[in-house]
Amino acid sequence: MRPGSKSRSPISPPAPRARKRRGYDGVEVMGSEGYFLNQFLVTHTNKRTDRWGGSYENRMRLPIEVVKRVRAAVGSDFIIIYRLSMIDLVPNGSTHDEVVQLAREIEKAGAASSIPALAGMRRAFPRLPHRCRAGRFPG
């Protein structure tokens, strides 16, 4: 919470804490396939001009911050897995180098591992039969 602010941060990890109390070994953060965190990563969906948009470092900020806050809430003896998209299948999706950079930063932030998801943003899937021909991805 910011000094003087009455609102709480929108990034709070009550669910992972509750899972830990109930005896779970870990949680998976869904950062792939066009879900909320993935939408911050790609310029196709992130049109922001503040510190959460623009450069890839800015666009990575939210997923990294989520992992950091989950790690702070659950401690070092709890597994955090982050699922990431390897290819977005939308114009201006993440590049291979960006995906690798994100995986490294997510690990530094406290995730035990990053699991690559197959591909795509959810809205891209209805177009797949038309865009993927001869066993290759569009691009």
Q: Which residues are catalytic?
A: 35
Distance of alpha carbon 89 from alpha carbon 119, whole angstroms = 7
Q: Does residue 85 contact residue 119 with C-beta atoms inside 8 Å?
A: yes
The encoded tokens of residue 105 equal: 């930063």
In the 8-state DSSP scheme, what is residue 94?
A: -
**Element housing 36 (H / E):** helix 36-41
